Each structure stands twice: as structure tokens, then as C-alpha cells.
Structure 1
Amino acid sequence: MYVPRHFEEREPERLLALMRAHAFATLVTVDEAGAPFATHLPFLVERDAAGEVHLFAHMAKPSPQWRSFAAERDVLAIFQGPHGYVSPTWYTTEPQVPTWNYATVHAHGRAHVLDTPDEVLRILRDTAALYEAGNARPWEPGQADDYVRRLMGGIVAFDLRVSRLEGKFKLSQNKSEADRRGVIAGLERGARPADLELAALMRSREP
């Protein structure tokens, strides 16, 4: 990913926060012929006792993608954070042109299939717990234990061990303070939740 210096984000906690808030990511692999393959998956973003980042997920067993893990090639998970159109009319200085502000994280590493039923079930339980949080009657796999265990034969769970994180937070850092404030105000006038989230992220970075 091309990352100009003023848009580069290196702070691990900020990168992990974005990944956890936008955990439905795109997993990209390359096969032996050099052809890319992409799958869209909800990930669990975890850090172990040694500080290493792990991304856990599962996919349908008929998908050919997981078979490429055995080749020990690097894979890429792309986490897309808030993003939105920026109108040149929001700036205080002229001339200006339209652009797009956004935040994204690329996680590089190698993926390994999880073989034991207990490991697979842990991924399913933790994923359900994450997205059932706040539900008045949270569902968990134990409520349909036999059915879930039958379905487990049709999925492949894996652990993507992250070796490198790249963060690009394009938030008008190359503009003046007045222009940045104009962009924030323009986004806050929008109706899209993503615009409001983007504006909040920009505000959090202001001195």
C-alpha cells in the first residue's frame, strides 16, 4: 500500500482499535499461478501474552482459499475503517479539488489451519459472543450444540499470525487547520453514519 508520510499511522493501539471496530475484513491470498483470491470474513483480533497479534476466522470448507495456507506464503487481511467524500466547498482556501478521506489497516502474515474441534469451537463461541453482545437474549453455540458440531465439518478455522501492520489514516493532515475543521464540519452535516464516524476520528486527531 502506498502510504505518504503524513498519512502513515504506526501506533499499534490505534491500528488494533480500528481493526476491532471494523472486523469484517478482506482476506487476500495468491495461488501458485500468481492469481489473487479474496474472501470477506469477520475476524477476531487478539493479542497474545507475548504481544503478538493473531487474527482468527473461519470460512466454508469448499472454498479453495484455505488450501493455499499450506504453501507458507504471506497473506493479507484488509480492514476498512470509516471513509467519505470530501467536497472542495468545505475548505477555506482555494483552489481545491474533491478527494476521499479514509482509514485502513493492512495486516500481513501467514495463516495456519486450526485442526482440533476445541479450537474451532472456541473461534465460533468467541465470534458469536462478540456480535451477540448487547442482545437481550444472546445466542451461543451451546444452545444448538449437536447442530453446531455437525456444521463444524463444513468449515475451516484458521489463525493468521500477523508479522506486519500498515496503517493509512488519510484525514486531511496535509491541509491547514482551518481546512481540516471545514472538512469535519462538512462531514458532520452529512446523513451517513460513516461520515459522522470519520468526522469523530478526525476530531480525535486534532491538537
Structure 2
Amino acid sequence: MYIPKHFKIDDMEQIYEFIEKYSFVTLYSTHMGEPYATHLPLILKKDENALYGHFARANGQWKDIGNQLALVVFQGPHCYISPSWYETTNAVPTWNYVSVHVYGKVDIIEDEKVLFDSLDEMVTKYEKPDSPYNLKKVDTDYIEGLSKGIVAFKIAITKIEAKAKLSQNHSLERQEIIIQNLEKIAGQDHLEVATLMKKNR
């Protein structure tokens, strides 16, 4: 990923926080000799320096992804920045965003317990704390039947690149103007970008 030095994120805790928050990813690999991508959620296990997830078995990407160096893209909030907000007309539009690229070797998981544990961890993450749903309480035969339709995998992380393009190359005064304008727009991405800009000033 192209990362000018003023947009680079080096703080690993900040990167991990981002990965866990924006965990619905695009996973790229080579499949049948061509670039291929799947959109899916992943679970980060920091103690293993790894990501866990699963493919639908009908998705052929898993069949030749083993031992490949795959690319996982975590895309955060992003939005258009209008030059009309600036104090001069001698300006051009741009886009603010945050993105993390994770590279790693993919291993297909055959162990049924590891598969169930990764599914359970994913459900626990996304269900609300007061949710009555619990994967462990679902009929085991039903779970076993559904599990035959998925393929679990682990990505051993080898490299992480993180970028926050949040107008750091502009003056603090202009950044404040951008933040004020973003906060006037009723869009989740606009408000999240504004919040991130405040944190990164």
C-alpha cells in the first residue's frame, strides 16, 4: 500500500483496535490463476498474531489458498472532502479514509473443535451482551450439519500496513474547518472521520 510518512500508523494498539472494530474484510488471494476476493468477517487473536475465519464450502477460493500469501483489507470510515470548505478556491477535492492491510499465510483448519470455537467467538463478538442467543445451546446435530458447509481457516500474520489519510498534510486551521463541515453532514462515515481527525491532530 502506498503510504506517505505523515499518513502512516505505527501504533500497534491503535491498529489492533481498528482491526477489531472494522472486522468485515475483503480477503484477496490467487484462485485458479486469477485475483480473487471474498468478503467476510474475521476474528483477531493477538496472542497468536493470527486471524481466524471461514469460507462457504461452495466458495472455491479455499481450495487453493493454502500456504498462499494472502492480503486482507480492513476498510474503515471514508468520505469526500470538498475544496469548497477551504479558505481559497485554489484547491482540489480529496478523500479521507483509514485502511489496514494485513498479509499472511493461510492454513485450512480441519479440527472440528477449533472450527466451533472460532464460530462461537465470532457469535459472542457480534451478539449484544444481553442477547439470549448462545451457539453452545443450539442442537449439536444441527450445528454439525451446518458445519459441513463451511471451511475454517487461520491466517498467520506476516506483515501489517496501516494508513490514516485524515488531512494531516493541511494546516490545523484547515483541519478544524474540515471537521466542522463533516459534523454538519448526517452520515456515519462523516462523523467517524471527524472524530478520527480530532484524535490525530
TM-score by length of 2: 0.95
Mapped to 1, the partners of 2:4 and 2:107 lie a distance apart of 32
Q: Which residue of 1 aligns with 2:43?
A: 44
Picking from 61, 65, 69, the partner of 2:61 is: 65
Mapped to 2, the partners of 1:200 and 1:78 lie a distance apart of 22
Mapped to 2, the partners of 1:144 and 1:192 lie a distance apart of 41
Structure 1 residue 89 displacement after superposition: 1.9
Mapped to 1, the partners of 2:98 and 2:111 lie a distance apart of 36
2:17 equivalent to 1:21 = no
| Contact 2:9 2:15 (C-alpha < 8 Å) held by counterparts | yes
Q: Which residue of 2 aligns with 1:12?
A: 12
RMSD: 1.4
Structure 1 residue 114 displacement after superposition: 1.0
Structure 1 residue 92 displacement after superposition: 2.9
Mapped to 2, the partners of 1:92 and 1:145 lie a distance apart of 63
Structure 1 unpaired stretches of 5+: none
Mapped to 2, the partners of 1:101 and 1:141 lie a distance apart of 42
Mapped to 2, the partners of 1:91 and 1:138 lie a distance apart of 49
Mapped to 2, the partners of 1:151 and 1:136 lie a distance apart of 22
Picking from 67, 75, 82, the partner of 1:80 is: 75
Q: Deviations over 1:49-108 (max 9, x none)?
A: xxx4211101111211112223x2200000001111111122234411111100000000
Mapped to 1, the partners of 2:137 and 2:111 lie a distance apart of 17
Secondary structure of the residue that 1:173 maps to in structure 2? coil
| Contact 1:105 1:168 (C-alpha < 8 Å) held by counterparts | yes
Q: Deviations over 1:23-47 (max 9, x none)?
A: 00000001352x1000000110111
| Contact 1:27 1:40 (C-alpha < 8 Å) held by counterparts | yes
Mapped to 2, the partners of 1:143 and 1:181 lie a distance apart of 51
| Contact 1:111 1:158 (C-alpha < 8 Å) held by counterparts | yes
Residues 81-96 of structure 1 mapped to structure 2, 5 A cutoff? 81-96=76-91
Cα gap change, 1:143/1:73 in structure 2, threshold over 3 Å: closer, same or farther? closer
Q: Deviations over 1:126-158 (max 9, x none)?
A: 011011123442342432332111110110011
Paired residues, what number? 201
Q: Which residue of 1 aligns with 2:120?
A: 125
Mapped to 2, the partners of 1:136 and 1:74 lie a distance apart of 37
Structure 2 unpaired stretches of 5+: none
| Contact 2:105 2:155 (C-alpha < 8 Å) held by counterparts | yes
2:178 equivalent to 1:183 = yes
Quote the sequence identity (%): 35
TM-score by length of 1: 0.92
Q: Which residue of 2 aligns with 1:31?
A: 31
Secondary structure of the residue that 1:9 maps to in structure 2? coil
